[in-house]
Structures are given as structure tokens and as C-alpha cells.
Amino acid sequence: MVVLALVNFVVDSAVTAPLIVLPEMLDHFGTGQAAWLNATAMLAGVLWAPLLGKSADLHGRRRVLVLTLLISCLGALVCAVAPSLWVFVVGRMLQGAALAAVFLSVAIVRGVCAPRTAMIVVGIVTSGSAVLNIASRFLVEELATEFGFQVLFLLSASVAAVMAVCVRAVVPESPVRTPGRIDVGGALLLGGGLAGVLGYVSLGSDLGWLAGGPLALLAGGVAALARWLLVSSRKPDPLIDVRDLSGPLVLTLLVVFLAAGSYQSMLQLIPLIGDVSADQHLGYGLADQGSVALLLAAPGLGVTLGGPAAGWLAARIGPASTLAGAIMLGTVVTLGMFLGVSRLPAALCCGFLLGVTVGALGTSGFNMAGSLASPERQGIVSSLVMVMVSIGSVVLDFVGAAVLESTAVVVDGETVNSATGVFSYVALASGAFAIAAVLVVLLVRSTRRGRGAPSPGLARDTV
């Protein structure tokens, strides 16, 4: 359990930690495309998660987890030495494989623990490393100031390599195997289609929504996604079998998609508002009130508490009801960021409670999806949760970045985000959480009606 909790620290170093040095990376590469620097790893998660989840069911969860950590290590090294933006993006795509460590850890836990115990352990494994994340925020900020943002990626590569060795030495291999094959073509169609659509969202605000280049990306992305859906519905063993998705599982995935995207977009906004001073009179700004590391450490503390608490509650009232509570809290707290963009105490409070929300969201989402899956399908079903986390994060990151780009203003010859853009950004995230709140109510009702569902874990733990 300790090793798997530390493995998830690799995920933070690959996905969340770079937010601390986001302004420095934007300056270094001379770009305003924050979403490409930040969300590329999440985008890669859409490609990596189903591939690695299916591979884990076929070839063993420990073996695939070690491979995942080594790929992330390689990606971090590429980012550290990248001479240009697009080489850096390639590194981030490789580093995004680390996201698979989350659901592979969950699948390993559910394979060795009884269902009720597993719910609690999942909360510890997915959230326990947040304690280290808090301390690392300040360390990374100091090291980046002294040596440049590249040091963050060197540290990430080192941690991934060490944890690969630890997993190989300590974690037992799962004896459960699922017959079948890996649909690499389906993964490429899914990942390429999403990249095309999101590329249009990112570049459209700069080049024009009707410009040839962005429209070509959109058309190619939509065509790839349509082809993936058509082919997947006909294959006997697709990467993601859309025909085998139950109503409760679909609702769970939609809730995770919206809530995770809203939370991740808020994390992307924090360093941007933290880099602006209230003295600039833009209507927002926290630069003179505290460090970005402090703002990003608050959610880490919340995650530490939210994950294990959600696991404990899920073992008693069920994962569906626990997930509903997390979504309701997230909706209220995201609305509170209307004050948090200009007042440090409000930002710290909202950041902490958003951390509680995401800790509970991840634990409850994995527990809910896992309770709907048979033992031999834990890897692929858990990967679907990670896919929705990745898609939601990427979509709202890119859409939010497009909102900021389209509403930017020029002050003293410098292009900066306007208050209109920042408040619209918060409204977008709040709306996503509100829709998730409606869906999670339907999920709770459906699980109460499904007392006779085939999954014994669901019947025991949610009724």
C-alpha cells in the first residue's frame, strides 16, 4: 500500500507540479498556449489509459505498471532537454503515461482486498501521496528559481525510475488474466480524434475559428472519432466496448468527466492569477498576497483528507452517495472562486475544499466503476475512469484557455488576461460542476433501483 501510494506521487510530478512553473515555460518557449504545455499530458492519458488498462488485464498489472513508470521517466527526460515547444510536447505525451499508474494501482488493490476493505485502501493509495505533494510545491518553486524549470522534469524522471524498481521488488503480480488482444488502431483513432478537435479549440482563438488550418484539424478529429466509434461497435474485441457499458457506469463516467475537468481547469487558472498583482487594477490578482506554491499546496492538503474519508464513507453508505456529496461540495466551492481570484484567504479556502472534492471524486469514481466490473475486467474499467478524467481535464483546460485568449487585453504594451476572461473561466467551471450535480442525482437513484444488479459488490456496498 505504501509503495502504490508513492507511485501516485509520480503522477503528480508529471501532471500537476508543472503548473508551478507554467509562466516560466510560457516565457521560455515564447508562446501563450498554456493548455498545450499543461494539458498535453492529460491528452496523452486518453491514448495511454485504455491501452495500458487492456494490457494489464492481458499480461499482468504489475508488469504494465513498471512499463508505465519507465515511459513516464523517458518523457520527463525529453521535456528537460527539449530545444523547442514541439519536442517538449512530445515529451509531455510520453510523460502522460504516468496517469495509468493511478488506475493500475486501483486495479491491483481491488485484486487483493475484499470489496469493503478495498474502498478504504483505494482512498489511501490514490490520495496518500498528496502529503508529499504539499512539501514538493515549495521545493520545486525554489529549485526552479535557482536552476530553471527543467529541474522539475529531472526530478520527475528520477522519482519515476526509483518507483519502477520498488514496484518490481515489492508489489505481487496479479494471477488473473483475460484472453484477448490489444486494439492499437482503436487507441490511435481515439487519441488522434481528440487531439484534432482540441487542437481546433486551442488554435481557433489565435488563427480564427473559420481559418483553414483549425478547420482541417476539426474535420480530421471528428472523422477519426466517428471512425473509432463505427469500428469499435463492430469489432469482437475492441479497446473500449461501448456496447457493454451499463447505465450506472455511463453516468459515473459523465460525472467524472465534468467534475475532473472543472477541477483541473481551476488548477490551471491558479498560477495565472497568482502571477498578476492587484496593483495592475485588472479586477483580479494574487501576486502580492502569497506564492503560487502556497496556492497549489492547499488543494494537496485537501486531497490528503478527501480521498481516505471518501473511502471510509463509501464502505458505509456506498460509493454513489459519497460521489454525490463530493460533487455538491465541488459545485459550491467552484462558485466561491469568484471571490478567490482576488482575495488570498478565499483562494486558499476554495483551494483546500476543491482538494477535498477531487480526493473524494477520484476515490468514489474508481470505487463506483470497480463495483460494476468483474475481477477480470478491473483494469479496463478502471482505465475508463482515467480516460474520462483525462478528456474532461483536457477539454476544460483548452476551452478555458480559449476563453482567456479571446478576452485578453493590452495594458502598457503587454497582453494580459482580462477580468471578463477570468470570471467567464470560473463561470464555465461552475457550470460543469452544476451539470455533474444533476447527473449524480440520477446515478444515486439508478443504484437504489438496481438492487438486483449482477455485481455483488454493488449490491452489498451501495444499498
Distance between CA atoms of residues 74 and 283, nearest Å:
42
Q: Which of 221, 240, 259 is the last residue of a domain?
A: 240
Residues sharing a CB contact under 8 Å with residue 189, sequence separation 6 or more, in sequence order: 224, 225, 227, 228, 231
pLDDT tens digits for range 321-335: 999 999 999 999 999
Helices (H), 96-237: 100-112, 115-127, 130-147, 150-170, 184-207, 212-232
Domain co-membership, 334 together with 455:
yes
427 burial type by CB count under 10 A (0-12 exposed, 13-18 middle, 19+ buried):
middle
Q: Using alpha carbons only, give the angle 393, 394, 397 rounded to the nearest 5 degrees.
A: 80
The string of DSSP letters for 433-444 reads HHHHHHHHHHHH
Domain co-membership, 58 together with 200:
no
pLDDT at 160: 92
Domain co-membership, 44 together with 111:
yes
pLDDT at 203: 67
Closest CA to 132 of 19, 221, 9: 9
Q: 358 and 260 in contact (C-beta within 8 Å)?
A: yes
pLDDT tens digits for range 355-387: 899 889 988 888 888 888 777 777 778 888 888
Distance between CA atoms of residues 262 and 256, nearest Å:
10
Structural domain that includes position 33 = 2-172+246-462
Q: 314 and 118 in contact (C-beta within 8 Å)?
A: no
Residue 93 forms part of a structural domain: yes
pTM score of the predicted model: 0.76
Report the CATH number at residue 375: 1.20.1250.20
Domain co-membership, 203 together with 325:
no
Q: Using alpha carbons only, give the angle 7, 136, 262 rounded to the nearest 5 degrees.
A: 75
Per-run averaged pLDDT (10 residues), the chain, 463 residues:
85 77 82 68 76 84 92 93 88 88 86 83 79 70 80 90 93 78 79 77 68 87 90 75 78 92 85 80 79 71 86 90 93 92 87 89 88 75 82 80 83 83 92 94 84 42 38
Domain co-membership, 314 together with 209:
no
Residue 32 forms part of a structural domain: yes
Residue 340 forms part of a structural domain: yes
Residue 178 forms part of a structural domain: no
Hey, what's the cell of 220? Answer: 480530421
Domain co-membership, 450 together with 397:
yes
The string of DSSP letters for 259-283 reads HHHHHHHHHHHHHHHHTS-GGG-SS
Residue 211 forms part of a structural domain: yes
Single-letter residue type at 89: V
Residue 269 forms part of a structural domain: yes
Return the H-helix or E-strand segment holding 411. Answer: strand 409-411
Residue 339 forms part of a structural domain: yes
pLDDT at 280: 80
Domain co-membership, 130 together with 214:
no
411 phi, psi to nearest 5 deg: -125, 120
Domain co-membership, 376 together with 262:
yes
Other beta carbons less than 10 A from residue 309's beta carbon: 20
Domain co-membership, 225 together with 269:
no
pLDDT at 372: 80
Domain co-membership, 317 together with 192:
no
- Number of domains the chain contains: 2
Distance between CA atoms of residues 148 and 141, nearest Å:
10
